[in-house]
Structure 1
Amino acid sequence: MIRFSVALVAALGLAACDSGGGNPLVGGTDPTDPTDPTDPGTTDDVLRQNLNSISVPDGSTVLVNMKSLDGTPLEVTFVRRPALDTNGYEAYSIQEDPLDRMFVALTKSSTDGTTRAAIVQDGGQFNRYLAGGFYEQTGRYTPPTVGSGAGQGQVSYAGNYAGITNISTTLGAGLLPIPGGVDPTTLPQLPGEAFRVSALIFLNANFADNTVNGEIYNRDLINPADLSVASRQPNLELIVTDIDPTTGQFAGDVEIIGDIGVKSGDYGGVFGGSGASSVSGVVALSNFNNNIDDEEEVGVFVLTQCGQAGDSVLCDIVQP
């Protein structure tokens, strides 16, 4: 297995974001710079990383604009790859030739279509990988009605989480093969296919005090060579943070379970729909296992509020 560091372009390009502002999950129009920093379509830069924009899937393709090296033109067509689907999130991919990076996008919309989110990452090459995420609120948003008693303003969300790590292998089943007869000693470092993560996620949100927290748990690291579970990773705690009462946006810190006060990454997202019927967001991790060095991950979650149509089985034991 190989590990790469996030590309320097992520650190240098985020402050300017000359082509990456506005509504990041676009439906056929170019993104524009945001005029309001609290716009619910604006993903926090630390979560956006190298991803400028990604279109709404049309069933077979998505259009992706990365800051670097995914292909040409600037907005590149990723094709549907069902074999790479992860925990209910649809996969799209591009690799132009066996010596180019292999990028994978994972995307999903909420059951009621009020929020959606996506992540994109390659498997790394030449000591760097490129990654990023977006989330979006669609239509109008209203918070739940706050009253007295269970389920009156304090609500839960449960469902699946998917991630892509900077741990990769050149033996990934999704990679384009090197043609037969090529002398391996003449090849540069080959691109890798990233190990993915399949997990569960649970959030509690209180709209009386406008705060949210939760956990990502049962985190299985998936080997792209054969789709086997390589290992179980530690649970991650989504530390309590504020919800913007107007936009439904939030952003907070991530910690490994038991490592109190030790930041491992960031999470953020947005509630959407009537009564905050759904929530979508992105996670960016700089550390997710104290027994591994230099590991990183970008992850995505799209969840239905407990008590709504299409909610998780786990919701049967909570007050909506």
Structure 2
Amino acid sequence: MPYYRPIPRFDHVRPADALPLAGGWLWFDTVEELHRDAPARLIPARDLPPDVLSRLTAPRASIAGLDLSKPQLMGILNVTPDSFSDGGLHFDPADALAHTDRMIDGGAVIIDVGGESTRPGATEIPLDEEIRRTAPVIAAIRARHPVPISIDTRKAPVARAARDAGADLINDVAGFTFDPDLAPFAAEAGLPVCVMHAQGTPEIMQKDPRYDHVALDIYDYLSDRIEALTALGIPRAQIIVDPGIGFGKTLEHNLTLLQTLSLFHGLGCPILLGASRKRFIGTIGGSDEARHRAPGSIAVALAGVAQGAQILRVHDVRETNEALRLWQAATLGQLP
């Protein structure tokens, strides 16, 4: 079976047969046709099968009120004592709300609230503790801001409490495979979802991860998860996909995914890129401490935007927003 990766471009001079990539800010006229058992080749976009062409070009529908015709920033709010980058900084509800204010002021259009660390080596926490950490903070944000809120959880009871507190989206790092009740709850509640790929649980995911072809393997996984979710009644137009940078991947796997990110537009869903402050950024950039990885994180975020990623999940919201505005002005001629 062939896979098709559009070659994204953003030059202001476009050929007559240029096609919009996912209805967004990029265009393409050439596609890399990939096979598991044959060499890749470049083909004209006009030679694509009609169904593939439709998925690659169709505008992405609004999800949780987000306009996905342009890049959007998701601010990370970890209400945990042990997250890899900012564990403990926003564990107190007052600190969490103050940080949310800063992220929204800095350009975040959605806040992702997580109460269980999924850093490499992290262990599962009790349900009641995860709910205690997240639901009150979500309720406080909802009382103060109209911004969409996502709950970063693998568990249905946590998602249910978050929805009752005002959450608008479920973001599951386990791809809705950890808790069999989570996807049916999302369908029942009519909530949009973000489905992420991870190889293994946080406890073991970085212990020698292996793939036959990392990009194609993850594409197939996400395709299967989309089919499972749509079978439950969740519309494809309300599903976001995330290849899971750093979740069961080596440095080389992460770089391959970043270089081939446009492949995932073929799923017909918006793409979320969550690479902020990850270990590989520190390895390449030379920053041992996660909190010092903002410059490298911004570079990776802009590389994702150049591949058409619609949502950037970031810690350093204001800095990323400033860089994104300059990137849009310098490359697309778009002024804020």
Give the TM-score normalised by structure 2.
0.32
Q: Whose strand fraction is larger, Structure 1's or Structure 2's?
A: 1
Q: Which has the higher helix share?
A: 2
TM-score normalised according to structure 1 size: 0.33
